[in-house]
Structure 1
Amino acid sequence: MSYGIKLHVTGEFACFTRPEMKVERVSYDVITPSAARGILEAIYWKPQIRWVIDRIHVLAPIRFTNIRRNEVGIKAGAPTAAAMRGEAVGTFGILIEESRQQRAATLLRDVSYLIEAHFEILDRRFEKNGPELSARDNEGKHLDMFNRRARNGQCFHQPCLGNREFPARFTLIEDGAPLPESTIPSDQRTRPLGWMLHDIAYLPADKKSKDSFLTGQGKCVRAEPRFFNPIMQ
């Protein structure tokens, strides 16, 4: 286990869509671990590390709101994807005006979370094809880079709260600094959250399987969702 970090994340709206209600989106009650990992990876990611979520503190009351949004009713097909990769001739993208649909969405509003996490070292070489470093030096470099980027508000891309139109604001909690206080009433702080998506596991698969695909390293895998039953307390 590596050094831990604490990140305070807030936002005006959030939508962590339940997979069983993906046509008209309905959010989970709280952020999912995979969404929290995505926020950390937006700030600092390297192929040599893997972020692991240890704990998520819910700091604001769980409140929902309903809005209607413009979405599209079709997905980009295989010819479009092949054309974008330069493997075929075709139209890039989707004509939004021809496939626009208004759909309802049940979102979270005024969210506030404290994410506790650590990273695991997958490769002791800090840079590709570089020399191997000791575990202490390697972890220290990654930790320093994450802390510096989070402290300065830097990110590879804007972290979001489920959807790109819901940006996340983040603040690094330094060692020894007081933790943000919860504004949830004391009688609402303990509750079951029901089954939620934890993360996606990529398992070895047969190339003949319909749901398999090749990774960048040429390995054949399939994606399998993993669920868990958390309790807020």
Structure 2
Amino acid sequence: MERHRNSIEYEVWGRYALFSEVATRVGGEKCSYQVPTYQALKGITESIYWKPTFKWVIDAVRVMNKIQTESKGVRPIKMSGGNDLSYYTYLKDVRYQVLAHFEWNDQRKELAGDRDENKHHNIAMRSVRQGGRRDIFLGARECQAYIEPCEFGGGEGFYDSYGEWNMGYMFHGFSYPDENPDHNLISRFWTPVMEDGVIRFESPDSPLLDRHIVRHGLNVKEFNLGKNVTSVEEE
């Protein structure tokens, strides 16, 4: 597995996970994908350490435990008030190894002075050892998770000699307005294949991904060093 000089490797685990897909939410029901999406892992990595100066790129995920599901009756709050009754299908007893690296966000020219790769990488590594800067969740707020450093590919995984498993057509992630020059919100889809427990992700700009524009030309929040963004020197 190729590693970048600013890569981080970590293991994330929890009792439950819910990587839900919009098509499974009809009538308030939610059903999890069998594996985490690129976007979910990006969100977890951003909870470890994030600044608008760069964007995280998820290279691969390794599924360590057997894929199992469990359905629960829940009482979500209705928009009109009161409670409703729904059934959510969660993944249970999950554990993943994640390999990721960061790249500069070229749409953030105003933060060019904060591009110190070595310092950001050191802060990210330290944040992994400390369990992240913000709470970690596996797809949903009720799915609390925990992280620790690891060597990607180390240890024994349930699917190490399983071979190939086509996971079907699924959501990959979002390209947000501040990550593309047209400032569009774009949704990406793909058909991942897990090989011996490892899914290698296509990069967000890969031509192999299906793209759909959700919203055109959205406003982008402004960041300025010393005002609403601290310099890496102050971290």
Report the TM-score, using the length of structure 2 for normalisation.
Answer: 0.71
Q: Give SS of 2:34's match.
A: coil
Q: What is the Cα deviation at residue 201 of structure 1?
A: 2.4
Q: Give SS of 1:68's match.
A: strand
Task: Measure, in 2, the Cα distance between the counterparts of 1:18 and 1:99.
Answer: 25
C-alpha change, 1:185 and 1:64, in structure 2 (3 Å) is: farther
For 1:52, the aligned partner's letter is V
Map of 1:19 onto structure 2: 22
Asked if 2 retains the 8 angstrom alpha-carbon contact of 1:2 and 1:120, the reply is: no
**Which of 62, 67, 76 is residue 71 of structure 1 equivalent to?**
76
**Which of 72, 88, 93 is residue 105 of structure 1 equivalent to?**
88
Asked if 1 retains the 8 angstrom alpha-carbon contact of 2:63 and 2:158, the reply is: no
> How many percent identity over aligned positions?
31
- 1:168 equivalent to 2:142? Answer no
Q: Give SS of 2:33's match.
A: coil
- 1:224 equivalent to 2:186? Answer yes
Asked if 2 retains the 8 angstrom alpha-carbon contact of 1:2 and 1:119, the reply is: no
Q: Give SS of 2:100's match.
A: strand
Q: Give SS of 1:198's match.
A: strand
Asked if 1 retains the 8 angstrom alpha-carbon contact of 2:62 and 2:153, the reply is: no
Task: Measure, in 1, the Cα distance between the counterparts of 2:132 and 2:39.
Answer: 21
**Which of 52, 61, 67 is residue 57 of structure 2 equivalent to?**
52
Report the TM-score, using the length of structure 1 for normalisation.
Answer: 0.72
Task: Measure, in 1, the Cα distance between the counterparts of 2:113 and 2:175.
Answer: 30
Q: Deviations over 1:171-194 (max 9, x none)?
A: 1126xx87232023744x531111
RMSD of the TM alignment (CA)? Answer: 2.8
Q: Could you list the runs of 5+ residues in structure 2 that have no partner in the other structure? A: 196-235
- Within a 5 Å distance, the mapping from 1:186-197 to structure 2 comes to 186-187=161-162, 189-197=163-171
- Within a 5 Å distance, the mapping from 1:110-149 to structure 2 comes to 110-122=93-105, 131=113, 138-149=116-127
Asked if 1 retains the 8 angstrom alpha-carbon contact of 2:169 and 2:189, the reply is: yes
Q: Could you list the runs of 5+ residues in structure 1 that have no partner in the other structure? A: 75-93, 204-214
Q: Deviations over 1:72-116 (max 9, x none)?
A: 222xxxxxxxxxxxxxxxxxxx7xxx3211210111001111111
Give the length in aligned residue pairs: 188
Q: Over alpha carbons, which structure has the higher Rg?
A: 1
**Which of 4, 8, 14 is residue 11 of structure 2 equivalent to?**
8
Q: What is the Cα deviation at residue 132 of structure 1?
A: 6.1
Q: Which has the higher contact order (CA 8 A, sep 6+)?
A: 1
Task: Measure, in 1, the Cα distance between the counterparts of 2:168 and 2:136.
Answer: 26
